[in-house]
Amino acid sequence: MNGMTKPAVRQDPYRPHVHYTPAANWINDPNGLVYFGGVYHLFYQYNPYASSHGHMHWGHAVSTDLVHWHEQDIALAEGEHQIFSGSAVVDWQNTSGLGDGTSPPLVACYTGHTSSNQAQYLASSQDGGTSWTLHPDAVLDRGKLDFRDPKVFWHAPTASWIMAVVHPVEREIELLRSTDLRAWTSLSIFGPAGATGGIWEVPDLFPVLDDAGHEHWVLKVDLNPGGPYGGSGVQYWLGDFDGQTFMPRTPAWWVDHGQDFYAAITWHDLPERRVWLSWMSNWQYAHHVPTAAAGWRGAMSLPREVGVRVDLDGPVLVQRPVPELQALRQAERPISAGITPFETDQAHEFLLRWPGSNSFRVQLEFRSEAGIEVSVEVTPREVAVRRPETAVTAGLTGYAGEHRAPLPPMEDHELRLFLDASSLEVFVGGGRAVLTDLLFPAQSIREVWCITEGLDHREAMGSLWPLSPTSER
């Protein structure tokens, strides 16, 4: 397919072209993200029986480029307990003793869920993640109904494994240490702190370097409800970790200012960079998005490189789409003030740049025959995404509205966004402001209106690229 060829109209207008979703049924949180032998593994919460939450298994997909994903057989299946969220590591030194000596085992640490208890269990793979053995005894059990989502990583300074696990109702993250992934010793408790309007879930703790090479530790945790618009959301702190305690140096900030970014975790054992992705939905309406008729519900965000940028106001988290996505670009087309027609039978990437000033407005309105389906506006101090209610989304409580993210003063501005069949991901200011929103247009979007104020018409110009599909569905 090239940029001049119109693809056949699909029977499923909302199935993503470049975002991962399985062939059928329900998915939510990504789990066990691990890189091994040149392969990126994406495990995720999966119900193989229906397009609603329940009977949690770990689904599985693999990729060699973070872009083209290939669905695999179920990795961890429900048995005496459901397989709730967790993480996976490469046990290079076979500290767990779960390897057979031929190659390092992959070890997953997940929450086993029953109606009366949640505890942490191990599973292992000796063939690079293709098949798994579930080990029957819990390695961490507090006899609690809500105690879940272990994120495990190797901490070289203390030569030990560190686990971040959440106590949802208490709004606490507990840090623990182990030398063998089996026996765990409690180190410290973080929280309650920041936003506490809902239960906490899916913690992650990891270091990143800023542009000057200084290390910052990122602690992030999700909450539901209590997000920036009343539904679910993700908050983070920047600080220090000494092998025992996380010490924040910033207040809590939102990771994503849209409505549909939840349960992000980072890949383990990925050299030289930090990458994560999330479930792209919101618990306000996840069970009601209009895709069940096609037999599926849920998709993942695009993978993002995570870093820290130090501005005049201090350090902030930045997120940028992984550069591997540029390989999907087809024939480039210019975009400037006015109307640009395009086809939404495939995904598109948009990129605009313009010089900074004290007073300007750049707005992109994505329109179908039904009218404006979504708009993105950038001004000197903020970016806003507006999702109007349509006939398709009238029953989705929390869908329609305006989502805003602050921007620091900048000499030059950049707006980069990805429009897929049922989502919009917006990156502004080099990834300082990010908004992720599901999108269910009433009709196919066929044109973008670029409106500028306070700028010469030649100052806000850019490009759009149709993107090659990453799935044949």
**Per-residue pLDDT reduced to its tens digit, 50-86:** 999 999 999 999 999 999 999 999 999 999 999 999 9
Q: Is residue 2 assigned to a domain?
A: no
Q: Is residue 251 assigned to a domain?
A: yes
**Per-residue pLDDT reduced to its tens digit, 292-346:** 889 999 999 999 999 999 998 899 999 999 999 999 999 999 998 999 999 878 9
Q: Is residue 16 assigned to a domain?
A: no
The yes-or-no verdict on residue 3 having pLDDT over 60 is: no
Q: Cα dist. 32→29, 235, 472 in Å?
A: 10, 21, 25
- How far from the centroid of its chain's Cα atoms is residue 3's Cα? 28
How far apart, in whole angstroms, are the C-alpha atoms of residue 327 and residue 319? 19
Map 377-401 to HEC letters.
EEECCEEEEEECCCCCCCCCCCCCE
Final residue in a domain of this structure, among 265, 292, 321: 321
Bridge-based pairing state of the strands 382-387 and 333-335: unpaired
Q: Please indicate, yes or no, whether residues 316 and 349 belong to a single structural domain of this protein.
A: no
Given pLDDT bands bounded at 50, 70 and 90, which one contains residue 472? low
Mean pLDDT computed over every residue of the chain: 94
Q: Give the mean pLDDT of 119-141.
A: 98
Q: Is residue 450 assigned to a domain?
A: yes
Q: Please indicate, yes or no, whether residues 268 and 413 belong to a single structural domain of this protein.
A: no
pLDDT at position 366? 97
Q: Please indicate, yes or no, whether residues 419 and 460 belong to a single structural domain of this protein.
A: yes
Q: Please indicate, yes or no, whether residues 33 and 175 belong to a single structural domain of this protein.
A: yes
Beta strands (DSSP E) in 97-232 are 106-113, 118-125, 133-134, 140-144, 148-155, 160-167, 172-178, 185-190, 199-209, 215-224
Q: Which domain holds residue 446?
A: 330-466
Q: Please indicate, yes or no, whether residues 139 and 259 belong to a single structural domain of this protein.
A: yes
Q: Is residue 7 assigned to a domain?
A: no
pLDDT at position 34? 98
Q: Please indicate, yes or no, whether residues 412 and 459 belong to a single structural domain of this protein.
A: yes
Q: Is residue 15 assigned to a domain?
A: no
pTM for the full model?
Answer: 0.95
Given pLDDT bands bounded at 50, 70 and 90, which one contains residue 7? very low
CATH of the domain at 51: 2.115.10.20
Q: Is residue 9 assigned to a domain?
A: no
Final residue in a domain of this structure, among 262, 288, 321: 321
Given pLDDT bands bounded at 50, 70 and 90, which one contains residue 9? very low
Is 29 noted as a catalytic residue in this protein? yes
Q: Is residue 357 assigned to a domain?
A: yes
Q: Give the mean pLDDT of 147-171.
A: 98
How far apart, in whole angstroms, are the C-alpha atoms of residue 455 and residue 119? 57
Task: Tokens 């399985």: give the residue.
Answer: 22
Q: What residues contact residue 396 under an 8 Å CB cut-off, 6+ apart?
A: 284, 285, 288, 289, 440
Q: Please indicate, yes or no, whether residues 147 and 45 belong to a single structural domain of this protein.
A: yes
Beta strands (DSSP E) in 312-432 are 314-321, 333-335, 338-341, 348-355, 361-368, 371-379, 382-387, 401-406, 412-420, 423-428
The yes-or-no verdict on residue 1 having pLDDT over 90 is: no
How would you list the strands of the sheet with 433-438, edge to edge?
A: 333-335, 461-466, 348-355, 412-420, 423-428, 433-438
How far apart, in whole angstroms, are the C-alpha atoms of residue 33 and residue 75? 13
Q: Give the mean pLDDT of 357-369.
A: 93
pLDDT at position 383? 98
Provide the domain count of the chain: 2
What does the block give as tokens for 140? 């961490």
Specify whether the CB–CB gap between 66 and 40 falls below 8 A. Answer: yes
Active-site annotation holder among 29, 204, 260, 437:
29
Q: Please indicate, yes or no, whether residues 350 and 278 belong to a single structural domain of this protein.
A: no
According to DSSP, the residues that pair with 250 across neighbouring strands are none
Q: ∠ CA 158-162-163 to the nearest 5 degrees?
A: 170
Q: Please indicate, yes or no, whether residues 36 and 56 belong to a single structural domain of this protein.
A: yes
The yes-or-no verdict on residue 4 having pLDDT over 60 is: no
**Per-residue pLDDT reduced to its tens digit, 169-223:** 999 999 999 999 999 999 999 999 999 999 999 999 999 999 999 999 999 999 9
Final residue in a domain of this structure, among 271, 293, 321: 321
Q: Give the mean pLDDT of 125-132.
A: 97
Amino acid at 443: Q
Q: Please indicate, yes or no, whether residues 310 and 344 belong to a single structural domain of this protein.
A: no
pLDDT at position 358? 83
Q: Please indicate, yes or no, whether residues 282 and 348 belong to a single structural domain of this protein.
A: no
% of the chain surpassing 90 pLDDT: 89
Q: Give the mean pLDDT of 396-403.
A: 95
Q: Give the mean pLDDT of 31-57.
A: 98
How far apart, in whole angstroms, are the C-alpha atoms of residue 147 and residue 173? 10
The yes-or-no verdict on residue 428 having pLDDT over 90 is: yes
Name which of 386-390, 407-411, 443-447 the model is least confident about.
Answer: 407-411
Q: Please indicate, yes or no, whether residues 118 and 74 belong to a single structural domain of this protein.
A: yes
* Closest C-alpha among 198, 200, 235, 243 to residue 219: 235
Q: Give the mean pLDDT of 36-61.
A: 98
CATH of the domain at 393: 2.60.120.560
